[in-house]
Amino acid sequence: MRLKKVVAALGASAAVASGLVFGGASAVADSCPSLYVVAIPGTWETGHEKTPQPGMLSGVTRGLPRNTEVDYVTYAATAFPWEGDVYGSSKKEATDNARGLITAMAQRCGATNIALVGYSQGADAAGDLAAEIGTGIGPVRPERVAGVGLISDPRRSPTDVQVGPPAPGAGAGGPRVGGFGWVSDRTRTICALDDLYCATASDDFVTRFAGFLAQSSDANPANIWRYQIEAGAILNDLMANGGVPMLQSQLTESATEQRAKDLERFYRSESHTLYGSYNVGGGQTAISWMHNWIAGMA
């Protein structure tokens, strides 16, 4: 009789334990969103001393379907050495933090799809992470990515799928080596025609070299091969357009003065910060289009 009671007690305990386990799994599954959006703000929109700031992307992520979860990435969001972190270090922190968020969600919720969205330096970081995933070295398999939205991407390639009027040239930092791989068909980029960060003329070699130096600041030795390819692409274009004399002509006193005027006109135009009103067609702005596109993934 005593043995039967012990067996019965053990059975009851096992049943309770099983209920807790399965109940816990069910609770986790119930708390999982169908779409997880990782948003990376632009330069100066967030920082170590700030809580995550939506900034330009607020209109993209506000009011998404209820089965969507959104996280904003906090990082240095600086560009110059006197701010504390050089551009390369700041962007790497954004990429690493976004990767960490995606990894944690993927481990917790196996059926949740992922969307990445970024603006300016945040688009640079989001695009780099998307390229990792698309080429098979990211934290999740490419099929888990529902979409990647990039606004004013400094590494925009002429071959990227653009929304709105096709911007000339490419990003100031040069296109990503290898592109977006298996997520290319789900990646969309928006670049205002006059936004020099994402629309640098192919023959503006001063800006292209400056962009390359920004990208390779705080260089990772493991990426030397990539830096060589990117620098080689600029040099090849330079040689095809007149070589060193062409570069020298862009560094003369008069050319430098004109460049200063062009930059002043660019900053005064605020084309880099007006995506909330930038028309991409169909009565939509860059922000409203990106919002509707991501909402359709949920």
- In angstroms, rounded to a whole number, what is the distance separating the alpha carbons of residues 160 and 277? 22
Query: How do the domains of the chain map onto residue ranges?
Result: 31-201+272-295
Residue 89 CB neighbours (<10 A): 15
pLDDT tier for residue 242 given thresholds of 50, 70 and 90:
very high
pLDDT confidence of residue 6: 34
Phi, psi of 12 (to 5 degrees): -65, -40
CA triple 82-83-84, angle to 5 deg:
90
Helix, strand, coil % over all residues of the chain, rounded to 5: 50, 10, 35
* Torsion over CA: 12, 16, 17, 19 (sign): positive
The CATH number of 31-201+272-295, from 3.40.50.2300, 3.60.15.10, 3.40.50.1820, 3.90.45.10, is 3.40.50.1820
pLDDT confidence of residue 82: 67
pTM of the full structure: 0.86
pLDDT mean across residues, the chain: 88
pLDDT tier for residue 219 given thresholds of 50, 70 and 90:
confident
Judge whether 198 and 242 are in contact, CB under 8 Å.
Answer: no
The predicted-structure confidence for 120-174, as pLDDT tens digits, reads as follows 999 999 999 999 999 999 999 999 999 999 999 999 999 999 999 999 999 999 9
In a 3-state reduction of DSSP, which class is residue 204?
A: coil
